[in-house]
Structure 1
Amino acid sequence: MIKKIMHYFDSAVSACSRYDFIALLCIRLYLLPVIYVGAYSKVVGFNESVAWFGASSSDGGLGLPLPFLFAFLAVATEVAGLICIALGLFTRVMAIPMMILMSAASAMVHLPRGWLAIADKGAESSQRLAGLLSWLAENFPGRYNYITEFGDPVILNNGMEFAATYFVMLLVLFFYGGGRFVSMDFWIRKRLTQ
């Protein structure tokens, strides 16, 4: 009985594997706005990025030597990554510098904040927000209802959670590529092997 169930399950999984390219496309589509926001902010605010890369940690910066070079490399990586991942072009190759960038961002920016991207209820910042919301509810109930109508406000902790998730998604693209049918890589390889 179990053997028969396993056989049917394996057959169903095998039939579904014809559509595995959809998962890779979804990962690429999910990453696009994330990469775009980072790339856009660095391109538009390039001078601010250079200043942040070079400023000491006591001044809220990263304290990197050669801040112009590192800011340029970060911008170039994100812009090239955005284009390549959108098109599914050189997906595996482009995943490498994107993972390196994500690892550097995790280690330098997010690691000191811990794992959680959103502060939990026990964090002091969350407790301060709860106090503010309580004060708002007592003194300005209309504004409180407006702010909380669609859910509870939260405090961004800026931990490693999101960066690690994006790293894992890039790792999947490195191992599996951009996917069949929906990536330039697939069509280039198909043309070269004919």
Structure 2
Amino acid sequence: MIAQLQQGYHCAGRLLTPLEGIPALLLRLYLVPIFWMAGTNKFNHFDDTVAWMGNSEWGLGLPLPWLMTALATATELLGAALLLLGFGTRLISVPLAITMVVAALTVHWQNGWQAIADATAPFANDAVLAAPEKLERARAILQAHGNYDWLTSSGNFVVLNNGIEFAATYCVMCLALIALGGGRYVSVDYFIAQKFSATPNR
């Protein structure tokens, strides 16, 4: 019985081999617009981003802010393009993951975990626990002085917490791509490996 189960398991694995690149492809396609939008936003507001990165009073107070901004912008734009193609996937995922770690530690860390404040969720800090009262007051103002039904027609209002949640998630996805590569049959990396290697990589 156990032998038959093992045989069935291995048979299912062989049947799914053509699909094993799909998870890597989906991770890549998920991250492409995220990094592209982040990079283009920095590029289009480069001087403002440099000022924010360098100012210690209302910004991050980082050293060499022009260089830091240029590196982050180039990494995100180039990373989005390479992830789209699945070219150099493992290599570009390293600086992308590092960029997310830096963002988590310098921009989001002090806000805790949650990106959107939800007082009922785990890891709620003081700012998150105060969110329901802020949201209730905002709703009262909008209901009294605005077209509340129209304002909420696309979804409910929320209070942003700007925690590390999204940066950490994108970092984990990049780490997964370092392990998975671009994906079998769905990346330039795979076909280059097929051409130049006796044992192709993903």
The TM-score normalised by the length of structure 2 is 0.85
2:43 pairs with 1:43: yes
Structure-2 change in CA distance of 1:5 and 1:191 (3 Å): closer
Contact 1:126–1:154 (8 Å) recurs in 2? no
> Shift of the alpha carbon at 1:184?
0.9
* Aligned-pair identity (%): 40
2:44 pairs with 1:52: no
Pairing partner for 2:96 from 90, 95, 98: 98
Structure-2 change in CA distance of 1:72 and 1:135 (3 Å): closer
Aligned to 2:156: 152
Q: Which has the higher helix share?
A: 1
> Shift of the alpha carbon at 1:7?
5.8
Contact 2:18–2:185 (8 Å) recurs in 1? no
> Shift of the alpha carbon at 1:4?
5.8
> Shift of the alpha carbon at 1:5?
6.0
State the 4+ residue runs in structure 1 displaced beyond 3 angstroms: 1-14
- Mapped partners of 1:21, 1:168: distance in 2: 18
> Shift of the alpha carbon at 1:74?
0.9
Matched residue count? 190
What's the CA shift string for 1:22-48, capped at 9, x where partnerless?
A: 111111000011001110011111111
Question: Unaligned stretches of 5+ in structure 2?
Answer: 120-127
Alignment of 1:107-146 (within 5 A): 107-121=105-119, 123-137=129-143, 139-140=144-145, 143-146=147-150
- Mapped partners of 1:25, 1:160: distance in 2: 25
> Shift of the alpha carbon at 1:187?
1.1
Structure-2 change in CA distance of 1:27 and 1:131 (3 Å): same
- Mapped partners of 1:144, 1:158: distance in 2: 25
2:166 pairs with 1:162: yes
Question: Unaligned stretches of 5+ in structure 1?
Answer: none
What's the CA shift string for 1:78-112, capped at 9, x where partnerless?
A: 12211111111110011111111110001001111
Higher mean alpha-carbon deviation, 118-127 vs 166-175, is at: 118-127
Aligned to 2:80: 82
Classify the secondary structure of the residue corresponding to 1:65: coil
What's the CA shift string for 1:41-73, capped at 9, x where partnerless?
A: 1111111111011011x32x1101111111111
User: Which residue type is aligned with residue 23 of structure 2?
Assistant: A
Structure-2 change in CA distance of 1:148 and 1:2 (3 Å): farther
- Mapped partners of 2:188, 2:69: distance in 1: 29
The TM-score normalised by the length of structure 1 is 0.88
Structure-2 change in CA distance of 1:189 and 1:13 (3 Å): closer
Aligned to 2:123: none
User: Which residue type is aligned with residue 64 of structure 1?
Assistant: L
Aligned to 1:173: 177
- Mapped partners of 2:71, 2:154: distance in 1: 39
- Mapped partners of 1:133, 1:185: distance in 2: 51
- Mapped partners of 1:156, 1:10: distance in 2: 47
Contact 1:95–1:174 (8 Å) recurs in 2? yes
Classify the secondary structure of the residue corresponding to 1:132: helix
Aligned to 2:22: 22
- Mapped partners of 2:49, 2:133: distance in 1: 32
